[in-house]
Amino acid sequence: MQVATVLYPDFTALDIIGPYDVLGRLPGAEVVFVAADPGLVRNDLRSLSVQPEATLDEVTSPDVVLIGGGPGYLGQLEGGRLHEWLRAVDRTSTWTTSVCTGAPILAAAGLLEGRRATTHWSALDDLTRFGATPTSERVVFDGHYVTGAGVSAGIDMALTLAGRMAGDETAEMVQLIIEYAPEPPYRSGSMEVASPAVIESARVALG
């Protein structure tokens, strides 16, 4: 089972590394990082670079497609090679998935038209713009599309998908291996519970 994880400049690392650590532990899984061009791809904090193992042209029929988000997603909303590749591999993929602002990229490529999807809270309007139906749920399945909300939700998305693909017991085993048992020190992890002051400072930080 090949999992193609897309890289592009200014991606958010946890968006793809969380799912990588989950899906890469499934029996028979091969995770391959792909990008439009060879060479290191730098993340949004500008201090981490990932080397893709293949270009988009070299990966033609992955079983699972995963695209994460990050500030660089805005530069990936226009048509081009990535959109063409996403539409091509989506025709044969078992699952096409996203984390955070990866969902607007799928939507901009025309893959989420009329479908329910989630993304980071700051980008829900982008889904509407491209014909998807936004929801604030943490993980959304619609057909063979699976979208996760912001950043850390990628782990939830990947574990839920792992259960669908390999069974609950295997997914639970992976959850134990990565010791995923969240006990956040603060209660500000969603728009529903964060204070107005925290929400405002987050909006300012995101630009």
- By annotation, the residues acting in catalysis are 100
C-alpha–C-alpha distance, residues 130 and 118, integer Å: 13
Give the three-class secondary structure for 6. strand
C-beta separation of 140 from 118 below 8 A: yes
Nearest to 81 by CA among 39, 118, 34: 34
Q: Tokens standing for 30?
A: 């091969």
Write the CB contacts of 146 (distance below 8 Å, at least 6 apart in sequence).
95, 96, 97, 98, 139, 140, 157, 160, 161
Whole-number Cα distances in Å, 18 to 2, 83, 116, 149: 17, 24, 23, 13
